[in-house]
Structure 1
Amino acid sequence: MTLEILTADSLADQRHGFFTRKGGASCGIFKGLNCGFGSSDQAHAVTLNRTRVADAIGVDVERLATVHQYHSAEVLTVKGPLGPNRPKADAMVTATPDTALGILTADCAPVLFADAQAGVVGAAHAGWQGALNGVLEATLAAMQALGADPANTTAVIGPCISQAAYEVGPEFMDAFMADDPDNARFFAGGAGDRVQFDLPAYGLHRLRRAGVGEAEWIRHCTYRDADRFYSYRRCVHQKEADYGRLISVIRT
């Protein structure tokens, strides 16, 4: 099956893609393009899936950089192939030619960045913890260190969980209110004491406040569309043993 790759017009000058689960070699609950070695999927299937992604983005698979993500604000500057031992970080930046940066998600927000004039790109894994702790601003700062200008930078949030599907408890909201009382606008009322959090809107707010020239969400919900996307929360609700990881990639 052919890979399905979502793109953003605002990043048209940069080779990139938000890959759906379609077109992969994985089977069972991972059926499709599972690119997560952290899952319990067969390693050879994940390797084949990543090779297909690298081919689609136009680089050797060794030049498709991914990291060990752990919901931090840590940013890695990539200057060449990372090898088999993936460093711990939740974002990457590079100005090295023919280098692709890949972010893995399954409800969290993948964010791709590019300053086409400077030849600098970035990619970030922005779940609620990373976004709250500043991973998006840290990515922009690391891009600046390579010569990028936030005002010339475009940032696009890919498929992630939407507000209608993201119900959380009051203690979750409390963490955001403690950071900034204005964050109340990113929550809507749910059942009982539950509230619904708007992750993509919060990410856009942080990006725009940081001064990016253009920011958008491509408006695809991972939870609602099981045919196209993996979802951690859907996996929990359906009591499945594990879940696949989507990959979003940008290259120089």
Structure 2
Amino acid sequence: MIVEVVRSRMLEGVPHGFLGRRGGVSTGSYAELNVGLGSPDLPEAVATNRRRAVEAVAPGASLNTCYQIHSATVVTVTEPLRERPEGDALVTDRPGLALGVLTADCVPVLFADLDAGVVGAAHAGWKGALAGVTDATLDAMEALGADRARIHAAIGPCIAKRSYEVDDAFRATFAADDEANARFFSDGRPGHHQFDLEGYVAHRLGAADVRHVEALGLDTYADEARFFSFRRATHRGEPGYGRQIALIAL
């Protein structure tokens, strides 16, 4: 089975990819390319899937991921990580280090400044996005010599607005941060709204002066054949769900 890799025109020349569920060895709710270490899937299957993912994007590179906590914490990677530090983004200027973030509806964002030789990867759920995980990633990249005027960013598969229903309290949280955030919500059934998480993350990148951004517009919830989805699994009462990975390397 061939691993499916979705690439962005914004990151041409950089080993990168947004992977879904195709091309792995897991079965059942986790079929096929589940890379989530925290899932109840078979550990040996997850390990095989993680190896396949790296070989499909950056053969020979070492995989580096975080223990994701829905934060704005960024880890600067200078050598292969022996353990998973807490955080939701990684940056590096070292060849041979593949940076990976895991998602199952949240937004994966990959970054690159080819001139500086600096790359980054961020996991932006709504909490991390609101807390500024993408802004923190840009700051960490610039600390390594990048320039946000040169940085290209790609927003990968995530839950789309049409699939993401939230309540009044959720909307109020974003409105309290900035009244202009109302633009990312549209009315749904009484007391509920549809939230454009992808659009919000793209807005945060633009507000941070990143001018080269591509949003792939792929809905993890709606496309069961290609992607894992936490919300879809929850709505169906399934016992678990897989995670997909986004990768970038020098």
After TM superposition, is the score higher than 0.5?
Answer: yes
In structure 2, what is the Cα distance between the partners aligned to 1:53 and 1:128? 26
Listed one character per residue, the Cα deviations across residues 175-220 of structure 1 (whole Å, up to 9, x for unaligned) are 1000000000000001011001000000000000001131121110
The match for 2:216 among 211, 215, 218 is 218
**Residue 40 of structure 2 corresponds to residue 5 of structure 1:** no
1:1-252 equivalent positions in 2, closer than 5 A: 1-60=1-60, 63-83=62-82, 85-252=83-250
Shift of 1:11: 0.5
Alpha-carbon separation, structure 2, partners of 1:130 and 1:60: 31
Aligned positions, number: 250
- Any runs of at least 4 consecutive aligned residues in structure 1 with deviations exceeding 6 A, and if so which? none
CA distance in structure 1 between the partners assigned to 2:54 and 2:235 by the alignment: 32
State the distance in 1 between where 2:190 and 2:95 align: 52
* Sequence identity percentage: 51
Gaps of 5+ in 2: none
SS in 2 for 1:38: coil
| Contact 1:59–1:99 (8 Å) recurs in 2 | no
Give the superposed CA RMSD: 0.8
Within 2, Cα distance between the matches of 1:7 and 1:26? Answer: 23
Q: Deviations over 1:56-115 (max 9, x none)?
A: 123436x110110010000000011101x2100000000011111000000000000000
Note if contact 2:130-2:174 (Cα within 8 Å) is conserved in structure 1. yes
- Asked whether the equivalents of residues 59 and 100 of structure 1 are also in contact (C-alpha less than 8 Å), the reply is no
* CA contact 1:103–1:123 (8 Å) conserved in 2: yes
